[in-house]
Structure 1
Amino acid sequence: MPRFDHNAFVNACRDERGVGHHTLRAYAQDLRTFARFAEAHRLSDPLSKDDILAYHRHLRDELGAKPATIERRLVTLKSYFAWREDRNSALPSPFADVRISVRIPRRLPRPIDRDTLRAVLKEGKDTFAVRSKSGADDAMPTSQNDVTILIIKLLIVTGLRISELTNVKVRDVSHDGGQILVNGKGSRERIVFVPNRELREDFRRHSEVRRKEGSVAAPLFLNTEGRRLRSATFRKRLRAMSRRLGIEPHLTPHRFRHSAATLLIEEGIDIRMVQALLGHASLRTTEIYVRLSNHALRRALERVNILDVLSV
């Protein structure tokens, strides 16, 4: 049976290519899946094209994996064998003559409709109004609910991934709350802006409070225990809010990101600016929001039905 040096490959991806934590975890999972297959089928080096085709059938027919999962596992495996061959030419990659086409259904993202966004933001306004009446300190936000609403607004305005926002440190925010330095996928840095005056002021106040509380290298957003707020914790808060407001399908951080992109394009912002805001490496990734916007236009036109209006 071949020996798979998973850890060395994952470490090389991290140290030499700057691959992010979530991707590294996916790589490790993908390679463990193949290692189990290799052990069960007693594969030995050098692996052949037939071994790879058999693994593809195993993923598709026996494990019932989704097309996107199959593609990712095969891409990871191909990258691993290319890396291994580069280190040891006596171990050629079995992917040299393999041509596998995995058809992945293209699904449109599901942004949050404007009425639902209004309901969510109204919840935030109501909360702030209650706090103001109670005479609480205005050097806020202080409560976790305030922080949740602040993050939601930032997601809508900036289109950030939730992991990007929860990893922001105090020093990454400008003193006026108008800019955030973000470390995105592949360790690519970019600057995002907070254009809304009221939101910028709330964000500035929060950042100022955090700056006074400790080190500028500390996380900007904390959980109830005073540690960095994690993405999973924020998702749980959104699920609770969804239940409270009766929102289906439930709110997720990425749906706010989809909403940000769709709203900007619908309001006439150039697609390349949206690409820069979202941190997409390829314009093709951003173009899906143009198609989504066209889909929304079609539904709106069908609702209006001009010929029926003229026949009245």
Structure 2
Amino acid sequence: MPHLDYRAFVNSCRDERGVGHHTLRAYAQDLRTFASFKRKHHLTDPLSKDDILAYHRHLRDELCAKPATIERRLVTLKSYFAWRADRNSALPSPFMGVRISIRIPRRLPRPIDRDTLKAILRTENEMNFALQSRPNSCVMQEVTILMIKLLIVTGLRIGELTNLKIRDVSTDASQMIVRGKGNKERMVFVPDEELQSAFRQYCIVRTKHGSLDSPLFLNAVGRRLRSQTFRKRLRVLSHRLGIAPHLTPHRFRHSAATLLIEEGTDIRMVQALLGHANLRTTEIYVRVSNHALKRALARADILNALKH
């Protein structure tokens, strides 16, 4: 095979494994980067272990890529060559016998603190007053706050929320079917009765104006609300409330996980809610829950206990 057939690989990941759009785009980008390296250095098949090691040095020393980026590019490339070898045994993977160690600094999540969350939710009261004078201009803000509340209590990824269809939400709006990474489905619950009521009213309105297969959340022109559009709304809200660093959907996901851990929810339940395949991914929220640690220490009151 004289060239890198990355399009066939990406299509195979989409059709056979149900890989999501964002991951497919990352695969294509990773393989285009290697294809450029291969052309520049006039590499031909069969590639060798030394070619892979040279590519690693290229990413690290010439492109100055971050460790996480280097790891992702190599993992994608390894998957591609395994896929190719499976279809053509005459082209073995050059990763055979390759051992590359990449140290990735573990970054702690940055949840939104409780006071900031309270300030965000208080904006709903401001909108209720404004509805009387500017009803149309406040509709989008109402929907934005509704979505924020859903992110806080469910820990959904923003793509999971914006990809919801009307039929994915139960009649009483207490639960919804969510499609996560790898197109895996999971059930997510909306526990708060007041939020359920607001969510139910919103869904009733959407059902009157769209089919069950219609997107649940719409933008200003009546099309499916894109994740990027919602991020822009959060930037505007951040600027208005003076929140820095600015709000992002994933910070609400971090907040949902951290708050649940702080309130004593079993970590495996948090894992199921977030749709994490590996418990290790969820365990990081135990480390950042300093609020819960402070409360536990206060309750224990060790010195006072020793006096008696």
User: Quick check: TM above 0.5?
Assistant: yes
Q: Distance in 1 between matches of 2:289 and 2:197?
A: 31
Unmatched tracts of structure 1, length 5 or more: 308-312
Q: Within the alignment, does 1:267 sit opposite 2:275 as a pair?
A: no
Is the alpha carbon distance of 1:104 and 1:226 closer, same or farther for their aligned partners in structure 2, counting shifts above 3 Å?
same
Match of 1:244 among 240, 245, 262: 240
Is the alpha carbon distance of 1:78 and 1:234 closer, same or farther for their aligned partners in structure 2, counting shifts above 3 Å?
same
The residue aligned with 2:40 is 40
Deviations 1:40-61 (A, max 9, x none): 0000111011100110010001
The residue aligned with 1:310 is none
The residue aligned with 1:70 is 70
Is the alpha carbon distance of 1:135 and 1:25 closer, same or farther for their aligned partners in structure 2, counting shifts above 3 Å?
closer
Q: Distance in 2 between matches of 1:221 and 1:97?
A: 49
Q: Secondary structure at the match of 1:192?
A: strand
Letter in 2 for 1:22: H
8 Å CA contact 1:222, 1:228 repeated in 2: yes
Alignment of 1:186-265 (within 5 A): 186-265=182-261
The residue aligned with 2:165 is 169
Number of aligned residue pairs? 301
- Offset at residue 298 of structure 1 (A): 5.9
- Offset at residue 18 of structure 1 (A): 1.0
Q: Distance in 1 between matches of 2:75 and 2:180?
A: 22
Match of 2:276 among 276, 280, 288: 280
Alignment of 1:19-168 (within 5 A): 19-131=19-131, 133-134=132-133, 143-168=139-164
Q: Distance in 2 between matches of 1:297 and 1:106?
A: 21
Q: Secondary structure at the match of 2:260?
A: helix
8 Å CA contact 1:2, 1:43 repeated in 2: no
Q: Distance in 2 between matches of 1:111 and 1:175?
A: 31
The residue aligned with 2:177 is 181
Q: Within the alignment, does 1:11 sit opposite 2:7 as a pair?
A: no
Give the percent of matched residue pairs that are identical in Structure 1 and Structure 2. Answer: 74
Query: TM-score, with normalisation over the residues of structure 1?
Result: 0.92
Letter in 1 for 2:127: T
Unmatched tracts of structure 2, length 5 or more: 304-308
8 Å CA contact 1:169, 1:218 repeated in 2: yes
- Offset at residue 108 of structure 1 (A): 0.5
Indicate the RMSD between aligned Cα atoms, in angstroms.
Answer: 2.2
- Offset at residue 293 of structure 1 (A): 1.1
